[in-house]
Amino acid sequence: MDLYCVFGNPIKHSRSPFIHQQFALQTGQNIDYQTKLVELTAFEKAVKTFIAQGGKGANVTVPFKEQALQLCDQISVRAQQAGAVNTLSFIDNRIVGDNTDGIGLIADLKNHNISLMNQRILIIGAGGAAKGIIQPLLIEKPSLLVIANRTLEKAEAIVAQHNSSNLFASSYAALSQQSFDLIINATSASLSGLLPDIPAQVITCNTICYDMVYQQEITVFLQWAKQQGAKKIIDGLGMLVEQAAESFYIWRGVKPQTDEVLIQLRNKLIMN
């Protein structure tokens, strides 16, 4: 049986073991996938210990994605562009890093039949999650991609790293004269029941609002978006399943079906 895990802190409520176990059942793969709670200063040691125990690969979540990048002997282009690693593979004494968050988001948006080409897209937030989705979104050729962050300098730093004439940084206040076809909340504000302080004018009756956070109840951001008359609201549970499917594919060379696993996960979330 091949060993996999997810490293994080906190990690207790991670849905990844359930998702990967379902993928393994569905594809006939013999794997064991567990959570590993890691002390904030002990990430490298935890990874090396897991490799010594025979680990074949791992996911990495908050707050270790940037540290994971530093630990790798080799990284994919998308991990380099994201500046963060969420998928590690341990191959021939080498640590290989990738980032599947961006492809996971795009896959989920496509599952919802959301077109991105020529659309005006707003990303709120400029942390690791936002970094990971910029390049995959740019590939889909939106007419405009704006990154707005509470701390403007972080959004500006991301824009400076990309060579795109359609990509702009903005403060929250400067958004008041603009509206968007798709708004992606890539902040962690919903986890604390808080709303990013963006002007309501960004939402029209044609706007789709996506929150990368998922919870048992509708997130405060999606509640607010609904009140402003958004056309459609979507949480990040589908992204979670899709990014996991891509990690599974990297490790096992077989792409699992995601729709049934997402239904099961949604039911589990509601019942908890």
- Residues designated catalytic: 65
First to last CA, the chain: 30
Tokens 């125990």 appear where?
Answer: 53
Residues that bind ligand NDP (CB under 6 A): 62, 101, 104, 125-130, 149-151, 154, 186-189, 191, 194, 196, 212-214, 236, 239-240, 243
- We find the least distance from the C-beta atom of residue 93 to ligand NDP, in angstroms, to be 29
Helical residues (DSSP H) of the chain, grouped into ranges: 16-27, 43-52, 65-71, 77-82, 101-111, 128-139, 152-161, 220-227, 237-252, 259-271
Closer of 51 and 63 to ligand NDP (Cβ):
63
- We find the least distance from the C-beta atom of residue 50 to ligand NDP, in angstroms, to be 21
* DSSP letter string, 164-213: -TTEEEE-SGGGGG---SEEEE-SSGGGGT------GGG--TT-EEEES-
- We find the least distance from the C-beta atom of residue 244 to ligand NDP, in angstroms, to be 8
Q: Are the beta carbons of 175 and 155 closer than 8 angstroms?
A: no
What single letter denotes the amino acid at residue 226?
A: K
Alpha-carbon distance of 235 to 226, in angstroms, equals 12
* DSSP letter string, 94-109: EEEEE--HHHHHHHHH
Closer of 154 and 266 to ligand NDP (Cβ):
154
Closer of 61 and 207 to ligand NDP (Cβ):
61
Alpha-carbon distance of 181 to 255, in angstroms, equals 31
Closer of 92 and 153 to ligand NDP (Cβ):
153
- We find the least distance from the C-beta atom of residue 66 to ligand NDP, in angstroms, to be 8
Closer of 101 and 181 to ligand NDP (Cβ):
101
Q: 3-state DSSP call for residue 234? A: strand
- We find the least distance from the C-beta atom of residue 134 to ligand NDP, in angstroms, to be 12
Q: 3-state DSSP call for residue 7? A: strand
